[in-house]
Structure 1
Amino acid sequence: MTDWHLLHFFDQQQPRKATVLRQILTNKRTGSTLFWGLRYHYLDYLNAVPRLDVKKFDDAIDDLIAQNWLQSSSQGLQLTSHGQEVLATKQTPYSFADHPELNQKFDYQLWQAILLLMVQVASEYRYHNSNYYVANQNLKAQFLVKSWLQVNSFETLAAEVSQCLEQFLDQCDPAKADLFTAKLVGHPQNGLSDGQIASQLGICPREVSWTWRDLAFQFAAFVQARSNLKISQLVQVAALPGALTPTIKQTAGLFNEGKTVDQIIQIRRLRRSTIEEHLQVLAIFQPNFPYEKILSESDLKTLARVYAETEIDQWRYAELQQQGIEMPFLKFRLYAIMKTHGEYNE
């Protein structure tokens, strides 16, 4: 991501750290990163650019500051009025993903290879052609599709792909539906490149890439929701674990059973800091987290008193210590997460 598109992630009122955005885009999932991702409304963009070029990202941020589109301070970066005008003027329906959260649910490299391959195979089958050049060279995708076809029929593949594509495209914006199909490879057509599509639409190739990626993910979710279809198996092999890793899910299971933090540490034989981070992440992604299991009424009153006059972004754990209050960091952070979810639900 470069240039003015990054303005989308900044706000005129709330200072935000570029390092948090970079870590979110590349799927860094520390408790601190996820907390600030929650505060900045970034969480939907986890794993959005896993192969982000850090130097290009940093240079782009510096360029936006130099152009006075972003303003830098010790608290972070804020969108300037000039930057807001640029964003409003330049953005098109293709500039940003409609469903960025789907980056967390599917392996894009594998899924886009499977998608292109199964569409091509289905198309060639419909034209009774068995002698063709496979357009996608992803060996894992080829193996998975071949293995699927050993159990299922070409007729099933062709019928279900055709049905799903037709239903999916009917619910899409017509212009985006055209963009999506333009890259598909079939018997009568070779897929167009991002540059060719961009020239036709008058947008940049990067926006074509983002839009196609977004639609490919949406199609994956569309098929996955129809688990009765055989091709849903080809979507499932590209599915990712989601927001919560297996180890956090283990901690969550014990916590939901009523185990205390100390008991979970003993059972899982992990450091306290690790278990406490698991619980923070759990609270971030589950707004109905049972805070009362960790935060007592006394804790809530103390925290409310200490931080009553301060914006959440300005809260510092050291303030408790400065007032002679002994309280674990976990309680401080869970309170901030709880209040953040409360803000968003107001």
Structure 2
Amino acid sequence: MEASDLGQLLSAKQDRRIRVIENLLRGKKTVSTLYWGQRYHLLPLLNLAKQLDRGGLDNAVQELQRRHWLTVDTEQKTLRLTNQGAQALAETPTYQPQTVDQWVNLDIMAARQRLLLAVQVTSQYAHSTARYYPLATDQKTRQHVRQWFHSAKGPALASSLAQALVTSLAQLPASTADIMTDQFTGFGQPGLTLDQLALAHQTTIWQVRLRQFDGVTQIARDARHPEHPLHDLLGPLWRVPISPSAQETLAAVSAGRDLQQVANRRQIKLSTVREHLLEAAIMLPLTDFPYDSVLPQSVRTDFQAAVQGNLDDWQYSALPQAMQARYDFFYFRLYAIWRIKQEVTA
């Protein structure tokens, strides 16, 4: 990620931790990472650069500092854009994906791999080509595409897939549609690499990837229709954005069991139950979490009286000792999440 790309993920009004952004990209789903990812409005970045090394953004940070676009609080380990940086970045062209609100609900990387291989296989099949080098993908992707192809193949497959892709790409900006088609490999057409796409479109690799994420998500969203040719291939990649274990915990709590009962029944620690619930509260819409039972109005009232001001500045350790004795950190964090959700839906 180049300096200007990282700069678009920072703010001149809010201190942000580079390790939170890094861990989001790498898919490190600790409650702390998810909470601050939510607070920074960057949760859609989750899992989008799993190959990123720890410290992989440090060079971009240093470049932003060199340009005087960024200040670093070494004690708090946070970053903030300078006014100069904010103005320069506002004048830097950047892509604004239109499907970003769906990214946490889709395994985008798997969807992209399946899509590219499906397009290649269908193109070669339409030209009766039996000998070609398939795209390098993992075994799981090959298995899914193979199963899909043997079920879907027929004289109408190529035309129906082409029309479906045209319909999806027509809903996107022209630059996104161009990048999506330029990456496709098929009969007589080698798809362009990320480096080649960035050079051809005179942009950065990250900006190319944003367009790819947008394009793949739009195609996968259209493929949810049962008549879509890629329905069986891409449909299963839509998911609830919390772990299966967290889903099980949430279901038990929603059914009316208290947290200790859930821990005993599931044979897990109470702290694990609380982590599952915080993950669910962060990742799910406000209406999909049982706040009324887990964080009743009386608890909200107590916290409302005890904490004011900017949520970023709230500290559990600053609460009165009586409140700390009465309420575990879990309730403090859950109240903050509830407040954030209230702001978003207001």
Q: Which residue does 1:318 correspond to in 2?
A: 317
Paired with 2:280 and 2:204, the residues of 1 have a C-alpha distance of: 38
Paired with 1:109 and 1:39, the residues of 2 have a C-alpha distance of: 24
Query: Paired residues, what number?
Result: 340
Instruction: Give me the TM-score of the superposition, normalised by structure 2.
Output: 0.88
After superposition, the Cα gap between the structure-2 partners of 1:345 and 1:66, relative to the gap in structure 1 and judged at 3 Å, is: same
CA contact (8 A) 1:25 1:46 kept: yes
Q: Secondary structure at the match of 1:54?
A: coil
Paired with 1:51 and 1:42, the residues of 2 have a C-alpha distance of: 18
Q: Secondary structure at the match of 1:202?
A: coil
After superposition, the Cα gap between the structure-2 partners of 1:202 and 1:270, relative to the gap in structure 1 and judged at 3 Å, is: same
How far the C-alpha of 1:304 sits from its partner, in A, is 1.5
- 1:191-210 to 2 correspondences below 5 Å: 191-210=191-210
How far the C-alpha of 1:324 sits from its partner, in A, is 5.9
CA contact (8 A) 1:118 1:157 kept: no
Q: For 1:172-201, what per-residue CA distance to the aligned partner results, in whole angstroms no more than 9, with x for missing partners?
A: 222321221112122243323334433332
Q: Which residue does 2:258 correspond to in 1?
A: 260
Paired with 1:143 and 1:38, the residues of 2 have a C-alpha distance of: 35
After superposition, the Cα gap between the structure-2 partners of 1:132 and 1:98, relative to the gap in structure 1 and judged at 3 Å, is: farther
Residue 172 in structure 1 maps to residue 180 in structure 2? no
CA contact (8 A) 2:43 2:104 kept: no
Q: For 1:201-220, what per-residue CA distance to the aligned partner results, in whole angstroms no more than 9, with x for missing partners?
A: 22234433442343123322
Greater shift after overlay, 252-261 or 299-308? 299-308
Q: Which residue does 1:160 correspond to in 2?
A: 160
Q: Which residue does 1:22 correspond to in 2?
A: 22
After superposition, the Cα gap between the structure-2 partners of 1:85 and 1:135, relative to the gap in structure 1 and judged at 3 Å, is: farther
Q: Secondary structure at the match of 1:249?
A: helix
Q: Which residue does 1:293 correspond to in 2?
A: 293
How far the C-alpha of 1:149 sits from its partner, in A, is 3.2
Paired with 2:301 and 2:108, the residues of 1 have a C-alpha distance of: 46
CA contact (8 A) 2:31 2:278 kept: yes
Select 1:81's aligned residue among 83, 90, 105: 83
Unmatched 5+ stretches in structure 1:
none
Amino acid corresponding to residue 315 of structure 1 in structure 2:
W
How far the C-alpha of 1:258 sits from its partner, in A, is 0.9
Q: Which residue does 1:124 correspond to in 2?
A: 124
Select 1:282's aligned residue among 280, 283, 286: 280
Paired with 2:9 and 2:55, the residues of 1 have a C-alpha distance of: 18
CA contact (8 A) 2:107 2:239 kept: no
After superposition, the Cα gap between the structure-2 partners of 1:59 and 1:43, relative to the gap in structure 1 and judged at 3 Å, is: same
Q: For 1:216-268, what per-residue CA distance to the aligned partner results, in whole angstroms no more than 9, with x for missing partners?
A: 23322221x2123353111145x164411100000111111111112111111
Q: Which residue does 2:341 correspond to in 1?
A: 341
Instruction: Give me the TM-score of the superposition, normalised by structure 1.
Output: 0.88
Unmatched 5+ stretches in structure 2:
none
Amino acid corresponding to residue 79 of structure 2 in structure 1:
L
Q: For 1:286-344, what per-residue CA distance to the aligned partner results, in whole angstroms no more than 9, with x for missing partners?
A: 31233221334442332112113x32111111123545652222221111111111222
Q: Which residue does 2:231 correspond to in 1?
A: 232
How far the C-alpha of 1:37 sits from its partner, in A, is 1.4
Q: Secondary structure at the match of 2:55?
A: helix
Residue 49 in structure 1 maps to residue 56 in structure 2? no
Paired with 1:39 and 1:195, the residues of 2 have a C-alpha distance of: 32
CA contact (8 A) 2:5 2:207 kept: no
After superposition, the Cα gap between the structure-2 partners of 1:116 and 1:269, relative to the gap in structure 1 and judged at 3 Å, is: same
Q: Which residue does 1:246 correspond to in 2?
A: 244
How far the C-alpha of 1:121 sits from its partner, in A, is 2.5
User: What value does the CA root-mean-square deviation take over the aligned residues?
Assistant: 2.4
Paired with 2:324 and 2:112, the residues of 1 have a C-alpha distance of: 53
After superposition, the Cα gap between the structure-2 partners of 1:323 and 1:259, relative to the gap in structure 1 and judged at 3 Å, is: closer
After superposition, the Cα gap between the structure-2 partners of 1:156 and 1:148, relative to the gap in structure 1 and judged at 3 Å, is: farther
CA contact (8 A) 2:122 2:158 kept: yes
After superposition, the Cα gap between the structure-2 partners of 1:101 and 1:344, relative to the gap in structure 1 and judged at 3 Å, is: closer
How far the C-alpha of 1:164 sits from its partner, in A, is 0.9
How far the C-alpha of 1:31 sits from its partner, in A, is 1.7
Identity %: 29
Greater shift after overlay, 189-198 or 15-24? 189-198
Greater shift after overlay, 75-84 or 273-282? 75-84
Q: For 1:12-44, what per-residue CA distance to the aligned partner results, in whole angstroms no more than 9, with x for missing partners?
A: 111111121111111222222211111111112
Paired with 1:26 and 1:101, the residues of 2 have a C-alpha distance of: 19
CA contact (8 A) 2:20 2:36 kept: yes
